[in-house]
Amino acid sequence: MNLPNRLTVMRIVLIPLIVLIYIFPYAQFGIVLPVLRVGTVNLPVLNLVVLAVYLIAAFTDLLDGKIARKYNLQTTFGKFADPIADKMLTTTMFLIFAAKGIIPVVPVIIMVCRDIIVDGCRMIAAGNGKVVSAQMMGKLKTVLQMAAIALVLLNNLPFELWRLPVSVMMVWFAAFISMASGWSYFSQLKDDIFESK
């Protein structure tokens, strides 16, 4: 397994660690976590710890692609696993946020449904011997999702100081781009999808 693929696997391995850190019942074990005060906004140190691990995972996404392209290490496994690792990371975070009531559930449903449809399209394409790598709009969707997640973990700072709901707006914008990129994948593979044998 080459270095880009190892970085992809590392990103997947970091996901359960992020979940454990974020939802661990600290209070039940008598652990009191500190909270920072930034102006009028409370920022739990827990969020900063989760953000740090999350950024490491997100950085592996940037790094594996650059290394694979620079040193011609692109593999079928990488084309398959890299977008799945991205989806696992972002979807996990959005589901946790929605479950905690931090963000609305509707954009999360949109993004999850889009991913299911795209994965279905990819499975059909794979059945026809095609490996579909991530498109530019799909990459933009991932960048927007990752930026939105970072903002949510920062409790919308610094925008919260001015009462601007930028983090939630970013989530909705990511959902919109997600739908657009999903349509792009569908359009690209529609001949495979509607192929009659």
Q: What is the pLDDT of residues 11-40, one digit of tens each?
A: 999 999 999 999 999 999 999 999 999 999
What DSSP line would sit under 6-65, residue for residue? HHHHHHHHHHHHHHHHHH--GGGGTPPPPEEEETTEEEEHHHHHHHHHHHHHHHHHHHHH
**57-114 pLDDT tens trace:** 999 988 988 898 888 988 888 877 888 898 899 999 999 999 999 999 999 999 999 9
CA distances from 107 to 91, 163, 168 (A): 11, 21, 10
CA distances from 95 to 3, 17, 92, 106 (A): 30, 15, 5, 11
First to last CA, the chain: 37
Query: What are 196's two structure tokens?
Result: 């009659």
pLDDT of residue 98: 97
Q: Taking every pair of C-alpha atoms in the chain, what is the biggest distance, in angstroms?
A: 64
- Least confident among 97-101, 140-144, 150-154, 191-195: 191-195
Query: What are 48's two structure tokens?
Result: 């900063």
Query: What are 111's two structure tokens?
Result: 């993004």
Q: Select 3-193's CATH number: 1.20.120.1760, 3.40.50.300, 3.30.70.330, 2.30.30.40.
A: 1.20.120.1760
* Cβ burial, residue 156 (10 Å; 0-12/13-18/19+): buried
Domain boundaries, the chain: 3-193
pTM score, whole prediction: 0.89
Rounded to 5 degrees, φ, ψ at 15 are -60, -50
User: Are 67 and 7 spatial neighbours (Cβ–Cβ below 8 Å)?
Assistant: yes
Q: Is the peptide bond before 158 cis (omega within 30 degrees of 0)?
A: yes
